[in-house]
Chains A and B, each alone.
Chain A
Amino acid sequence: MDRRLERILPKVQKPARYVGGEYNAVMKDKADVDVRFAFCFPDTYEIGMSNLGFRILYGVMNDMPGVWCERVFAPWTDMEAELRGNGIPLFALESGDSVADFDIIGFSVGYEMAYTAMLNMLDLAGLPLRSADRPGLSPLVVAGGTAMYNAEPVADFIDLALIGEGEDQLPELIELYRRAKKEGWDKPRFLRAACRIGGVYVPSLYDVTYHKDGTIAAITPLDGAPERVYKRVVHDMDKSYYPARTIVPSTEIVHDRVTLEVFRGCIRGCRFCQAGYVYRPVRNRSVDQLIQYGQEAVRDSGYQEMTLASLSTSDYPGLVRLCDGLSAFCEDHHVNLSLPSLRADNFSMELMQRLQNGRKAGLTFAPEAGTQRLRDAINKNVTEDELTESLKTAFSGGWNSVKLYFMLGLPTETDEDVLGIAEIAKHAVHTWREYASNKNRGLRITVSTSWFVPKPFTAFQWEAQISREEYERRVKLLREAITAKAVTYNWHDGDTSFLEAILARGDRRLCKVLETAFRKGAKLDAWSDCFDLNRWLEAFAECGLDPAFYANRERSRDEIMPWSVISCYVSDQYLWHQRELAYRSVTTPDCRTQCGGCGASCVEGGECYRG
């Protein structure tokens, strides 16, 4: 171990997250390696190691001969201070080598609040933040993940973005890099070639001009860059890589268990949900393969927890067969099988009861809106009756703690909708009184509301986020309407959601705001104890930009969106139509009931659903 590292580890909290060496961490002989990839997660070890996508791509890359992918996480503030204080550059966990010496530095960016952590990691590596200030081919700085569907706020920092799923695309990029390195290409030449790989977006190859009012006048491709960059997807889940042998951290992380990804995409089409649109279409893994992977992963890892993950696991067609197929094995190996992201319907509840034999962990439902009218408007197809039925089953089955999630500030929301949330909570209390099998333990209902953030590639991408004052008024309205003692009300702090609304639909002029905020100390904004909106407001003022322009402005139908070069195959017409339906509170059937012709079928050769 590095002697300098040894000196600082005794001074920091949870040092085990900075040393690597975990079971299944991949070590390679540098003599056999010609491309070294520093896979950076712009958040802590505990969060990053809980991310299945990160584990998948780690495995995919390390399966490539001659390629060594190593992990890098954002250090916590105490560790950062030690690193900086002792002049130790950011290093990768496997080899301990400095990140700046790698060929490719790749960020996995799932959420906008991680942007400043990205900048901080580049800075800790001792690298210039801006792509233009890193003239050499290496290290090449790339970024992928859901947030990169709008890469504009980080456009000046990265060399390229990878849009969509990385399983096929990342190896193609690495092969191109390998060739470029061997043949001594310079960076511009490499980038011009890279933009021809499907799903690769090179921001510097697009010129953006603005109108006087700050909206975009035109985005012009340069040097033969494609007019549109289409996301990449894995077509056949059964043929795609699954990390059955994966790193088992030696210290506790957030999701410390076997995660089986049962499918990708979501059939539901909730109109606010970016994941629901950009991950289309739904692609299932087969039951048999999942059973096999589940067993392999438990045997290899020694985990005693397994979870079936997806955007909406109750929608997996083979769910019962899968649970039945796994249950004997799980019982034999004392493995506890859990199902997150369930819908509030009867089927899911029955399944829950069967699985949670004895264990009554808290139940979570996300009706998202307080009235049927608004739930229809956002296409969250859950009825109050379904919710009540689920609660009945839960309470009579012995559960006594329920969490309910809602959003405030959804388009078309009125005070009636806000008060409807309190009504739902009240109903839940009544249902408990009537049906609880065991009243002695008391009831705990938690109502949580977040502040709606309009996201790109959703039906609400044109919407304004409601103003701060209005959001606070609605919180107060709801707080005063929730009277039952058994109900606790939590609301999101507004600062984070406001910044999210700015960054989510930001253009590349935000790069200088980002850099300014970073210089003022923004670096782990995803953590409320490290986040301070004032830094950002100051940065906006210094850069002469108005945050409300990004967060609180309604866009017109013909406005050029900053991300309009990118396509997730779902057409703008479809999204706009969905928005119109929202204003009429008309729902859209799920993809399995009826195809709405969103455009995503293009990736599947024109056909989304086969049985």
Chain B
Amino acid sequence: MGKLRLFFVKEGRAAYISHLDLLRTFQRVFLREGIVLRHSQGFHPHPIISFAMPLPVGQESDCEILDFETNGDIDTAALPARLNSGMPEGIAALACAEPVLPVRELAALSCKVDLLYDSCVPSGAAEKIAALLGGGSVVIQKRTKHKSLADVDIRPMIRDLRLEEAPGVLRLYAVVSAQNPGLNPALLAAAVEKYLPELSPDFVRVRRLAVLDGSGASFR
């Protein structure tokens, strides 16, 4: 069987599993079910398995993507349930199918950034933050591909933004670019801390909600 794509949730305790550890974990999860992954050719063969967009440690996601190849035939509809019997807590496979689009066409991420305020949300915070992130430019320090820090204007990477206020929490629902260049949603909070230090939250929670293609449709 050729290439397959698995969609899964990563949340709760599993949010702290690093990228490399998650790779190892998935290899074992497949082996638990007796599913043999296809291996690369060459001197050090390794299983062909990769994540579309590595999730930063500590963030949660409803829409993680694992691309892999197997040797034998697989009932893709039954696969999620099979894998879930051998998962660590907090990871749950949702669906498996042949990929429709290549990973490079993954254009945007819909996400939720919770700004938590222990006493209460400062008054006027929602308006000020909406104005900041919807304004002209938002320059913050960001790691570039070459691992060095550079000042980058993240404003063009924010495609859509909606705020919602609940007791003790300000929820930013945003659509941000996924790659070339992509925006780590945590930087929305970093922007607030830089430009509106008086509105710095006590804690930030980030969750990916959906992955989108160039047309804004669900990435498959």
Interface residues of A (CB under 8 A from B): 1, 6-7, 9-10, 15-16, 18-23, 25, 248, 250-252, 299-304, 333
Q: Which of B17, B25, B32 contacts A300 (CB 8 A)?
A: B32
State how many angstroms separate the Cβ of B200 from the closest Cβ of chain A: 14
Nearest A residue to B31 via CB reads A302
Interface residues of B (CB under 8 A from A): 12-14, 16-18, 21-22, 24-25, 27-32, 34, 57-58, 86-90, 203
Q: Which of A7, A15, A18, A299 has the most CB of B within 10 A?
A: A15
Interchain CA distance A300-B32 in the complex, whole Å: 6
Q: List 15 A-B contacts (CB under 8 A).
A: A19-B16, A21-B14, A21-B90, A23-B28, A23-B29, A23-B86, A248-B25, A248-B28, A250-B14, A250-B88, A251-B18, A302-B28, A302-B30, A302-B32, A303-B28
Q: Which residues of A contact B30 (CB under 8 A)?
A: 302
**A15 B28 Cβ-Cβ under 8 A:** no
Q: Which of B14, B16, B31 contacts A304 (CB 8 A)?
A: B31
**B89 A21 Cβ-Cβ under 8 A:** yes
Nearest A residue to B32 via CB reads A302
Interchain CA distance A359-B31 in the complex, whole Å: 22
Q: Which of A10, A15, A21 contacts B12 (CB 8 A)?
A: A21
State how many angstroms separate the Cβ of A23 from the closest Cβ of chain B: 5
**B13 A1 Cβ-Cβ under 8 A:** yes
State how many angstroms separate the Cβ of B7 from the closest Cβ of chain A: 20
Q: Which of B16, B22, B31, B88 contacts A333 (CB 8 A)?
A: B31
**Do A250 and B31 contact each other (CB < 8 Å), given the known contacts A10-B58, A21-B13, A23-B86?**
no
**A16 B28 Cβ-Cβ under 8 A:** no
Interchain CA distance A218-B121 in the complex, whole Å: 69
Q: Which residues of B contact A1 (CB under 8 A)?
A: 12-13
Nearest B residue to A22 via CB reads B88
Nearest B residue to A303 via CB reads B28
**B25 A250 Cβ-Cβ under 8 A:** yes
Q: Which residues of A contact B18 (CB under 8 A)?
A: 16, 251
State how many angstroms separate the Cβ of A83 from the closest Cβ of chain B: 16
State how many angstroms separate the Cβ of A300 from the closest Cβ of chain B: 7
Interchain CA distance A18-B30 in the complex, whole Å: 25
Nearest B residue to A14 via CB reads B18
State how many angstroms separate the Cβ of A270 from the closest Cβ of chain B: 37
Nearest B residue to A93 via CB reads B13
Q: Which residues of B contact A252 (CB under 8 A)?
A: 21, 24
State how many angstroms separate the Cβ of A476 from the closest Cβ of chain B: 43
Q: Which of A16, A25, A302 contacts B21 (CB 8 A)?
A: A16
**Do A9 and B16 contact each other (CB < 8 Å), given the known contacts A299-B32, A302-B29?**
yes
State how many angstroms separate the Cβ of A398 from the closest Cβ of chain B: 16
State how many angstroms separate the Cβ of A137 from the closest Cβ of chain B: 32
State how many angstroms separate the Cβ of B49 from the closest Cβ of chain A: 13
State how many angstroms separate the Cβ of B48 from the closest Cβ of chain A: 14
Q: Which residues of A contact B28 (CB under 8 A)?
A: 23, 248, 301-303
Interchain CA distance A252-B20 in the complex, whole Å: 9
Interchain CA distance A250-B18 in the complex, whole Å: 9
Q: Which residues of B contact A299 (CB under 8 A)?
A: 32, 34
Q: Which residues of B contact A25 (CB under 8 A)?
A: 89
Q: Which residues of B contact A250 (CB under 8 A)?
A: 14, 17, 21-22, 25, 88
**A302 B86 Cβ-Cβ under 8 A:** yes
Interchain CA distance A7-B58 in the complex, whole Å: 10
Q: Which residues of A contact B58 (CB under 8 A)?
A: 9-10, 15
Interchain CA distance A23-B27 in the complex, whole Å: 13
Interchain CA distance A301-B25 in the complex, whole Å: 10
State how many angstroms separate the Cβ of A251 from the closest Cβ of chain B: 5
**B87 A23 Cβ-Cβ under 8 A:** yes
Nearest A residue to B29 via CB reads A302
Inter-chain pairs besides A15-B16, A25-B89, A299-B32, 7 sampled, C-beta below 8 Å: A19-B16, A20-B13, A22-B89, A23-B87, A302-B86, A303-B28, A333-B31
Q: Which residues of A contact B17 (CB under 8 A)?
A: 16, 250-251
Interchain CA distance A9-B59 in the complex, whole Å: 12
Q: Which residues of B contact A22 (CB under 8 A)?
A: 88-89
Interchain CA distance A23-B31 in the complex, whole Å: 13
Q: Which residues of A contact B16 (CB under 8 A)?
A: 9, 15-16, 18-19
Nearest B residue to A6 via CB reads B203
Interchain CA distance A252-B86 in the complex, whole Å: 18
Interchain CA distance A6-B116 in the complex, whole Å: 12
Q: Which residues of B contact A18 (CB under 8 A)?
A: 16
Q: Which residues of A contact B87 (CB under 8 A)?
A: 23
Nearest A residue to B90 via CB reads A21
7 interchain residue pairs of minimum CB distance: A302-B28, A21-B13, A21-B89, A302-B31, A19-B13, A15-B16, A302-B32
Interchain CA distance A264-B152 in the complex, whole Å: 62
State how many angstroms separate the Cβ of B87 from the closest Cβ of chain A: 7
**A15 B57 Cβ-Cβ under 8 A:** yes
Nearest B residue to A16 via CB reads B16
Interchain CA distance A20-B30 in the complex, whole Å: 21
Interchain CA distance A9-B14 in the complex, whole Å: 12
Q: Which residues of A contact B27 (CB under 8 A)?
A: 302
Q: Which residues of A contact B29 (CB under 8 A)?
A: 23, 302
**A251 B21 Cβ-Cβ under 8 A:** yes
**B24 A23 Cβ-Cβ under 8 A:** no
Q: Which residues of B contact A16 (CB under 8 A)?
A: 16-18, 21
Q: Which residues of B contact A21 (CB under 8 A)?
A: 12-14, 88-90
Interchain CA distance A569-B126 in the complex, whole Å: 74
Q: Which residues of B contact A304 (CB under 8 A)?
A: 31
Nearest B residue to A3 via CB reads B203
Interchain CA distance A299-B33 in the complex, whole Å: 8
Interchain CA distance A19-B16 in the complex, whole Å: 8
Interchain CA distance A299-B90 in the complex, whole Å: 22
State how many angstroms separate the Cβ of A299 from the closest Cβ of chain B: 7
State how many angstroms separate the Cβ of A49 from the closest Cβ of chain B: 13
State how many angstroms separate the Cβ of A464 from the closest Cβ of chain B: 47
State how many angstroms separate the Cβ of B204 from the closest Cβ of chain A: 9
State how many angstroms separate the Cβ of A304 from the closest Cβ of chain B: 7
Interchain CA distance A20-B88 in the complex, whole Å: 9
Q: Which of A10, A302, A333 has the most CB of B within 10 A?
A: A302
Interchain CA distance A410-B203 in the complex, whole Å: 57
Interchain CA distance A301-B28 in the complex, whole Å: 7
Q: Which of A9, A18, A19 has the most CB of B within 10 A?
A: A19
State how many angstroms separate the Cβ of A142 from the closest Cβ of chain B: 28
Q: Which residues of A contact B31 (CB under 8 A)?
A: 302-304, 333
Interchain CA distance A300-B203 in the complex, whole Å: 39
Q: Which residues of B contact A333 (CB under 8 A)?
A: 31
Interchain CA distance A299-B29 in the complex, whole Å: 10
Q: Which residues of B contact A303 (CB under 8 A)?
A: 28, 31
**B203 A7 Cβ-Cβ under 8 A:** yes
State how many angstroms separate the Cβ of A124 from the closest Cβ of chain B: 20
Interchain CA distance A9-B28 in the complex, whole Å: 25
Q: Which residues of A contact B34 (CB under 8 A)?
A: 299
State how many angstroms separate the Cβ of B98 from the closest Cβ of chain A: 24
Nearest A residue to B27 via CB reads A302
Q: Which residues of A contact B203 (CB under 8 A)?
A: 6-7
State how many angstroms separate the Cβ of B58 from the closest Cβ of chain A: 5
State how many angstroms separate the Cβ of A50 from the closest Cβ of chain B: 16
State how many angstroms separate the Cβ of B25 from the closest Cβ of chain A: 5
State how many angstroms separate the Cβ of B203 from the closest Cβ of chain A: 6
Q: Which residues of A contact B88 (CB under 8 A)?
A: 21-23, 248, 250
